[in-house]
Each structure stands twice: as structure tokens, then as C-alpha cells.
């Protein structure tokens, strides 16, 4: 295990600054998720930690030692990519063992490490197969096994689940998190999926146009977003934003809005646009007089108002998020 520190890390491409000074101290064994939309700089930040992108200014340190000038192979990191990056002509065993062979590890130790990782990932029966003979989930396990056998100080994950179907993504994110806890390896994980971030992270870095808008535990970020961007990005369905008279622009999450008959004082008038019954819950989409659409999350057993019905929206002021 190792600590990982980023101190005012910046990146420019020509005159364009794409990472605007990120600061975080990551403890041994922490699982940190970098989350944000496409183009926000999350993969660039990860690649700088890996040594695949140069750091324009600032410092990256692993276990207190500066690594800015070190080659990727000298940083004691292992990376799991989105596309698995497996050698198609090699067996599963040889794919997992390749990095150890290049490093000159004795054959007996290589076999021991590969078999241990294969047992941990439940892929021992596939060691003689080629990648083309495996499912997407099995290939992902092989890619993870290749990282595990190296016993790195830091794991780096670059959107490793984005090529999998929805059901398998749920299964694999649980497996990755459990595996990381068992191994205790400090990990940095990039995703655009805020559900992955919420369910996997000890802490997350919410990136917005190259800025780390907020760093914190998932529920803290969800409950107390630092910016309107964070409030809108974290949470599904996203936060509703609207003007509320003298209170200015506020945000209220769908689960904190309630549908009432008519619009009383301190409430909003709206018309039901449509509803999405999802079983345990129903998402009711309503339209304000100014044309804005808001979403109300209600219990699946609650009556669903008909389309076109005029309703009022109420909320507890304690759940308001105010932004300038």
C-alpha cells in the first residue's frame, strides 16, 4: 500500500490549460473515484498519475516520493484500461504473466502469483484460453489479474466497465470494490457514471471543465454539493433548479419534492407532463408556467396524477440548495 498526493497539479496543451490545479492527499488503501462528464479532464488527470501524460506544473508523489519525472514502469503502478488491452495471440496465463516476465521475475514465482490471482478472480479454468474465447466480463477479470500479479503500490482504473452491459457492470463494480478492499491497494478510478462513483468510492473528485469542483465522501457530496454543477451532476434523476420568489435560484432533489392539490403560499404551480412508473418508484415530470420541466420522485404505490392535471409542488426548506 502507498499514499498518493497531488499538489496543485496543472496541465496545458499549448496555451490551453485543461487541468486547473488539483490538490488531494490519498491515504493508504483508499478508493478514490474521479467522476465527471466527457471532456472534463478526468482521464488526463489519471494519465498524469500513470506517467502517460507530462505534468505542466505541480507535483505528484507516491509514498512521499516525487514521480513527475519517472517513467510509468518506475512508478510502481498498475493500470486497467477501458479496452482491456490484452494480447490476442497470448493465453490468459501469458497475458497475466507478461509484465512479470519482462521484469525478470523467476518462473516459479510467476506461476504462483498468476494462479493466486486467477483463484481470487475465479478464472483459473480459463488460463489456457485466448482472449477471443472469453466473455467481456472474463476479459475484464484477466485485465485486473494482470494488474494484481504485479503487486503495485497504486491501482489505476480508466473507465474499466464502460464496455460491459448494464447487468454485468453492476456485478463487476461490486467485485472490483470487494477485491480492492481485500487487497488493500490504494486505487484511483475514473468514470463518467455517477452511480459507479456513489457506490464504489471512499471519496470522489467531481471534475468540471478541468477543475475539481468538490472532493468528499459520496453521501457528503450528494447532501451538500459545493456548486450548482455538482448538484446537477451527482444524483439520478438530477436535481431540479428553479426560481423561488425572493429566495432566488434554488435546487431541490426529486425525492424532496411533493405533489399537492393546487399551489399555496411558498409553493410552485405546475402541470403534469408525463409519468414513468418504475415499480418501486414513479418519476412524475411536471412543467412550470415558464416551460421548465421538473421531476418528482414518489413512492411506486402512490396515485399517479393524470397528464395535463394542474398541481402544486411543495418541499421542505431544509432540503433547499441555494446557488448564486
pLDDT one-digit tens code per residue, 230-281: 999 999 999 999 987 777 789 999 999 999 886 665 678 999 999 999 999 9
- For the segment 114-135, the average pLDDT, to the nearest whole number, is 93
All structural domains of the chain: 4-231 (3.40.50.300), 237-322 (2.40.50.140)
Q: What percent of the chain has pLDDT over 70?
A: 98
Q: Report the Cα–Cα distance between both ends of the chain, in Å, rounded.
A: 42
Cβ atoms < 10 Å from Cβ of 241 = 16
- For the segment 203-230, the average pLDDT, to the nearest whole number, is 96
Which H or E element spans position 229? helix 228-233
Residue 166 pLDDT greater than 90, yes or no: no
Query: What is the value of pTM for the model shown?
Result: 0.91
What is the per-residue pLDDT for 211?
97
Mind giving me the DSSP string for 69-123?
TS-GGGTTEEEE-TT----TTS-HHHHHHHHHHHTT--HHHHHHHHHHHHHHHT-
- For the segment 276-294, the average pLDDT, to the nearest whole number, is 94
Mean per-residue pLDDT over the chain, rounded = 93
What is the per-residue pLDDT for 209?
97
Q: What percent of the chain has pLDDT over 90?
A: 80
- Omega into 284 within 30° of 0, i.e. cis? no
What is the per-residue pLDDT for 82?
83
**Position with higher pLDDT, 283 vs 171:** 283
- Taking alpha carbons only, the member of 294, 277, 313, 236 closest to residue 285 is 294
> In this structure, what C-alpha cell is assigned to residue 68?
513527475
Residue 21 pLDDT greater than 80, yes or no: yes
As beta bridge partners, residue 77 has 154
- For the segment 116-136, the average pLDDT, to the nearest whole number, is 93
Residue 78 pLDDT greater than 90, yes or no: yes
Q: Which of 77-81, 178-182, 194-198, 246-250 has the lowest mean pLDDT?
A: 246-250
What is the per-residue pLDDT for 145?
92
**Position with higher pLDDT, 140 vs 210:** 210
Amino acid at each position: 500500500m502507498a499514499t498518493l498526493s497531488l499538489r496543485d497539479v496543472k496541465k496545458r496543451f499549448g496555451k490551453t490549460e485543461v487541468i486547473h490545479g488539483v490538490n488531494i492527499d490519498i491515504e493508504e488503501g483508499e478508493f478514490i473515484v474521479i467522476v465527471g462528464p466527457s471532456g472534463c479532464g478526468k482521464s488526463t488527470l489519471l494519465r498524469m498519475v500513470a506517467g502517460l501524460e507530462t505534468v505542466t506544473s505541480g507535483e505528484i508523489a507516491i509514498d512521499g516520493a516525487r514521480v513527475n519525472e519517472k517513467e510509468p514502469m518506475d512508478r510502481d503502478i498498475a493500470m486497467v484500461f477501458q479496452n482491456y488491452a490484452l494480447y490476442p495471440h497470448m493465453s490468459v496465463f501469458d497475458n497475466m504473466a507478461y509484465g512479470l516476465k519482462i521484469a525478470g521475475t523467476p518462473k516459479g514465482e510467476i506461476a504462483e502469483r498468476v494462479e493466486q490471482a486467477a483463484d481470487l478472480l475465479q478464472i483459473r479454468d480459463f488460463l489456457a484460453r485466448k482472449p477471443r474465447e472469453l466473455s467481456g466480463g472474463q476479459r475484464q477479470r484477466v485485465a485486473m489479474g494482470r494488474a494484481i500479479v504485479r503487486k503495485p503500490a497504486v491501482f489505476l482504473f480508466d473507465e474499466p466497465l464502460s464496455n460491459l452491459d448494464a447487468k454485468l457492470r453492476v456485478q463487476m463494480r461490486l467485485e472490483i470494490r470487494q477485491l480492492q478492499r481485500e487487497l488493500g491497494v490504494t486505487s484511483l478510478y475514473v468514470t463518467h457514471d455517477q452511480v459507479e462513483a456513489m457506490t464504489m468510492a471512499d471519496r470522489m473528485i467531481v471534475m468540471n471543465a478541468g477543475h475539481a469542483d468538490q472532493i468528499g465522501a459520496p453521501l457528503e457530496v450528494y447532501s451538500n454539493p459545493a456548486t450548482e454543477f455538482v448538484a446537477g451532476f451527482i444524483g439520478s434523476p438530477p436535481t431540479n433548479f428553479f426560481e423561488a420568489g425572493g429566495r432566488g435560484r434554488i435546487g431541490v432533489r426529486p425525492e424532496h419534492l411533493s405533489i399537492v392539490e393546487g399551489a399555496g403560499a411558498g409553493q410552485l404551480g405546475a402541470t403534469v407532463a408525463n409519468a414513468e412508473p418504475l415499480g418501486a418508484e414513479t418519476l412524475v415530470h411536471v412543467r412550470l408556467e415558464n416551460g421548465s420541466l421538473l421531476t418528482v420522485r414518489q413512492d411506486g404505490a402512490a396515485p399517479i396524477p393524470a397528464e395535463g392535471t394542474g398541481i402544486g409542488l411543495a418541499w421542505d426548506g431544509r432540503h433547499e440548495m441555494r446557488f448564486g
